[in-house]
Amino acid sequence: MGYLSESLGTAFGLIVQLDREVLGAVRVSLSTSLVATLVSTALGVPIGAAVGLGRFPGRRAVLTLLNTLMALPTVVVGLLLFGLLSRQGPLGDFGLLFTPWAMIMGQTVLATPIVANYTLSAVAGADPRILPTALTLGASRLRGVWQLLLEVRFGVMAAVVAGFGRVVAEVGVAMMLGGNIRGYTRTMTTAIALETSKGEFAFGLALGLLLLSVALVVNLFLNTMQQR
């Protein structure tokens, strides 16, 4: 217990003193996760709305695919994108591997199915009269869908928050595609893994406490949105 309490005290000290290494990992984590969430929102909300409102052949297969992708292992995403972005891969000439952009690509793949599924559920649970009423009043279908999304905005916001929560705490994509480069691609999760393996338990604990704080805020916000 002495070791744990001493490490906890050191961890709080690092947080209060705004340690540069700690803040650097937090900055990379939040910046890449936020960008990935924005891209995932731009992709996932239209996909979720289209599948939720559409009636087309193969819809059940699309639903199954989206549900499957929600549970996609991060290391599998990292492995596939590593092959695409490596020097021998088809996208190797762009030099994206071991950059924040590679991490954002991987996180986008992870978050988009979650945003799409949450949006789909929100749209499916909306009043079925909203879209037909908007169309009857002369709105275009796109305008009518937009009105429907406004009506279920809390569900859409929950989708965005859930997507962010998925990527901010992941480690596989960040490690494999980012390379855990200090001050550049080192996130909270990869820094925790590295520093703990080096014996810097207090440093890892400081980042762990910050990551738990982010997760707590995300989940509180998500629960609030789901109750609206």
Specify the amino acid at residue 111: A
In 3-state terms, what secondary structure has residue 126? coil
Question: What is the domain-level CATH number for residue 137?
Answer: 1.10.3720.10
Write down the pLDDT at residue 93.
92
- Above 70 in pLDDT, residue 12? yes
Asked whether 106 and 40 are in contact (CB, 8 A), the reply is no
CA 41 distance to own-chain centroid: 10
Write down the pLDDT at residue 45.
96
Give tens-digit pLDDT for 171-206: 999 999 999 999 999 999 999 999 999 999 999 999
Q: How is residue 92 written in tokens?
A: 């190797």
Write down the pLDDT at residue 59.
86
Average pLDDT, integer, range 54-80: 90
Write down the pLDDT at residue 145.
86
> How many structural domains comprise the chain?
1
Over the chain, what is the mean pLDDT? 91
- Above 70 in pLDDT, residue 215? yes
- Above 80 in pLDDT, residue 18? yes
- The parent domain of residue 51 ranges over 2-227
Give tens-digit pLDDT for 84-95: 999 999 999 999
Give tens-digit pLDDT for 134-176: 878 877 888 888 988 988 888 899 999 999 999 999 999 999 9
Give tens-digit pLDDT for 97-131: 999 999 999 999 999 999 999 999 999 888 778 88
Rounded to the nearest 5 degrees, what angle is found at the Cα of 98, between the Cα atoms of 116 and 200? 100
Give tens-digit pLDDT for 38-51: 999 999 999 999 99
Rounded to the nearest 5 degrees, what angle is found at the Cα of 129, between the Cα atoms of 128 and 132? 110
Q: How is residue 154 written in tokens?
A: 């809390």
Specify the amino acid at residue 85: L
